[in-house]
Chains A and B, each alone.
Chain A
Amino acid sequence: MKEEFKVISELINEKSRVLDVGCGDGILMEYLLKNKVVDARGLEISKEKVKKCLSNGLAVVEGNAEHDLKQFPDLSFDYVILSQTLQAFMSPENVIKDLLRVGKKVIVTIPNFGHWKVRLDLLFKGEMPITKNLPYEWYNTPNLHMCTIQDFYNFCHNKGINIFKTISLNGQKTSKITSSNLKFKNLISELGIFLLEK
């Protein structure tokens, strides 16, 4: 089980209604169904992955978050999850706005472009960084809008989005991110996990 999913699961109350946006092959949904007895729905763009989810009996709908979140009514989910997908959207700002409309709480996880290895890659090699979480070349990456934990933190602050909790994930290690340790955590975290509310 991905460490990230354990952290997400701990943020979620039992028996709540959850929408996993970009649910992939449904591993997180299955994990939440088992451990938190949630009522889970998924939205996924890849036909192959949707078929896999449906084969496992999951309530997953094929669609693109940039167009298809519309169909979900306001505050119709207790939690909406967006795991490592924000950077791939044409308009991350609009997607976040829609997530906050649909979900009472929103969990967003971000592959951190501020990690020291990423910074060193660019500084010493002068090449676009390729890491475990960001394995693409510049010319074939689906990631249009990379950001750092600090960037996303600033974004929420500027847009008046409440951040309830921020968690750093570095390998297997999790730790809390606060405004006082943000600069440092932005350097050592591979992943930032944010719990948001409008």
Chain B
Amino acid sequence: MKSITIKQPLKLDCGKEISNFPLAYETYGNLNEKKDNAILVFHALTGDQFASGINPVTNKEGWWNYAVGPGKAFDTDKFFVICANVIGGCMGSYGPGTIDPSTNKPIGTNFPVITINDMVNAQYNLLDHFKIEKLFAVAGGSMGGMQVLQFVSNFPNKAKVALPIACTASHSAQNIAFNELGRQAIMSDINWKDGLYDGQTNNPDKGLAVARMAAHITYLSKKGLQEKFGRNLQERSDLKFGFDADFQIESYLRYQGSVFVDRFDANSYLYITRAMDYFDLTKQYGGNLSKAFKESKTKFFIISFTSDWLYPTSENKDIVIALNAIGADVGFVEIKTDKGHDSFLLDVPDFLSTIKNYLNTTYLNINERRI
């Protein structure tokens, strides 16, 4: 697993300082000689650095395998795609699961509370690592989109193009509520032990699985669920008058919960959902979101999905409005799909082809016009 050690101290929003910490990353494609073809991709809540191909830890397809790869939307024949595991995560970056050498146990809830801003500031070190003066693009969906917005506001001249997808500039009460539900599920698990479980045996898997099940529902749409599962029964011809998974949807959610705990740390789930809840870029700029982007010449392309009720079009449009208010270069489209918030991770051809064409054309335009 590739990683850099960030030596210089990083001052976190909570006031604490961290230094000499690891940031795990993966890259796809090749950085060209001019170093002008790099795209930094940010992952969402449960993602990691393995965006494309086969994730070597889970042996499953990378979370953005539909979008990142040779000939795909983020075409790795042309672009050099970098993706890092966020701090607070559990795939090699500094997080609550990192072993504290003084106790030989995971840091657990002694890990400082981190924010989207902290995540982005940590990942900025990758530009120095690869000696990239300016990224061609920053991109990401959901929490990845929040990182895109934060990145451009922190580093206004470090990306030519920004693609925030299915996200928000200010985490809504409804989304905080869903995250709190997940956290309470974890913290109610007897194995959680105030976050100081050993990470080997007896982890708060039940709580984490319930958190995942609840969250998974919010990633889909009512119509999508109805069409995929309806009231179909799971390997039985009639109801069993008990609390087993009678319905396919129950079985599906249980499966999603059970496979999730094999690859994800419960404390990371707490920390990362907290970072999302704390995200309010509008507030960071005194109630005026436009100010976040005032210094930037970045070209924005914002995408939302019709059936996404978690990060609805209206919240994505607020970002568009803030950008138009300062005459920024912004494109926006709402993609029609029944696949809910998860659309950005799935094979939604309109979405993928529009990004592919947009990136390829813009890369050519920028080079031709020598902007």
B357 located at the interface, meaning its Cβ lies under 8 Å from any Cβ of chain A in the complex: yes
Chain A residues, Cβ within 8 Å of B321? 71
Are B325 and A61 closer than 8 Å at their CB atoms? no
Q: Mark B346-371, 1 if CB is under 8 A from A, else 0.
A: 00001001100110011001000000
Chain A residues, Cβ within 8 Å of B330? 41, 59, 61
Chain A residues 147-197 with CB under 8 Å of chain B are none
Chain B residues, Cβ within 8 Å of A73? 325, 327
Are B361 and A53 closer than 8 Å at their CB atoms? no
In the assembly, what is the distance between CA of A50 and CA of B320, in Å?
14
Are B301 and A61 closer than 8 Å at their CB atoms? no
A131 located at the interface, meaning its Cβ lies under 8 Å from any Cβ of chain B in the complex: no
Are B320 and A71 closer than 8 Å at their CB atoms? yes
In the assembly, what is the distance between CA of A57 and CA of B137, in Å?
14
**Given contacts A51-B354, A61-B320, are A76 and B327 in contact (CB under 8 A)?**
yes
In the assembly, what is the distance between CA of A53 and CA of B320, in Å?
16
Chain B residues 322-344 with CB under 8 Å of chain A are 324-325, 327, 329-336
B299 located at the interface, meaning its Cβ lies under 8 Å from any Cβ of chain A in the complex: yes
In the assembly, what is the distance between CA of A60 and CA of B362, in Å?
13
**Given contacts A47-B333, A50-B333, A62-B334, are A56 and B361 in contact (CB under 8 A)?**
yes
A117 located at the interface, meaning its Cβ lies under 8 Å from any Cβ of chain B in the complex: no
In the assembly, what is the distance between CA of A41 and CA of B330, in Å?
8
Nearest Cβ distance between residue B164 and chain A, in whole angstroms?
14
How many cross-chain pairs have Cβ atoms below 8 Å apart between A and B?
58
- Name the residue of chain B whose CB is nearest to the CB of A55: B357
**Given contacts A59-B299, A61-B320, A71-B321, are A54 and B331 in contact (CB under 8 A)?**
yes
- We find that the number of chain B residues with CB closer than 8 angstroms to chain A is 23
Are B354 and A54 closer than 8 Å at their CB atoms? yes
Chain A residues, Cβ within 8 Å of B350? 51
Are B334 and A54 closer than 8 Å at their CB atoms? no
Are A55 and B320 closer than 8 Å at their CB atoms? no
Are B325 and A58 closer than 8 Å at their CB atoms? no
Chain B residues, Cβ within 8 Å of A56? 357, 361
Chain B residues, Cβ within 8 Å of A41? 324, 329-330
A119 located at the interface, meaning its Cβ lies under 8 Å from any Cβ of chain B in the complex: no
A116 located at the interface, meaning its Cβ lies under 8 Å from any Cβ of chain B in the complex: no
Are A47 and B331 closer than 8 Å at their CB atoms? no
Which DSSP category, helix, strand, loop or mixed, fits chain A's interface?
mixed
Please indicate which of the listed interface residues B330, B332, B353 has the most CB atoms of chain A within 10 Å of its own CB. Answer: B332
Nearest Cβ distance between residue B308 and chain A, in whole angstroms?
15
Nearest Cβ distance between residue B45 and chain A, in whole angstroms?
27
Chain A residues 83-131 with CB under 8 Å of chain B are none
Chain A residues 15-60 with CB under 8 Å of chain B are 17, 41, 47, 50-51, 53-60
Give the residue of A17, A55, A72, A76 whose beta carbon is less than 8 angstroms from that of B358: A55
Are A54 and B301 closer than 8 Å at their CB atoms? yes
Are B365 and A57 closer than 8 Å at their CB atoms? yes
Chain B residues, Cβ within 8 Å of A55? 353-354, 357-358, 361
**Given contacts A51-B333, A62-B334, are A57 and B358 in contact (CB under 8 A)?**
yes
Give the residue of B299, B324, B333, B335 whose beta carbon is less than 8 angstroms from that of A71: B324
Chain A residues, Cβ within 8 Å of B353? 55
Chain A residues, Cβ within 8 Å of B336? 47
In the assembly, what is the distance between CA of A133 and CA of B320, in Å?
33
- Name the residue of chain B whose CB is nearest to the CB of A60: B331
Nearest Cβ distance between residue B75 and chain A, in whole angstroms?
14
| List of 10 A-B pairs having minimum Cβ-Cβ separation, nearest first | A55-B357, A57-B361, A71-B321, A61-B332, A57-B362, A71-B324, A50-B333, A59-B329, A54-B331, A51-B354
16 residue pairs from A and B, CB less than 8 Å apart: A41-B329, A47-B334, A47-B336, A51-B350, A54-B301, A54-B333, A55-B353, A56-B357, A59-B330, A60-B332, A61-B331, A62-B333, A71-B324, A72-B324, A73-B327, A76-B327
Please report B residues at the A interface, Cβ cutoff 8 Å. 299, 301, 320-321, 324-325, 327, 329-336, 350, 353-354, 357-358, 361-362, 365
Please report A residues at the B interface, Cβ cutoff 8 Å. 17, 41, 47, 50-51, 53-63, 71-73, 76
A sample of 11 more A-B contacts (CB under 8 A), given A47-B336, A54-B358, A58-B331, is: A41-B329, A51-B354, A54-B333, A55-B354, A61-B331, A62-B333, A63-B332, A71-B324, A71-B325, A73-B325, A73-B327
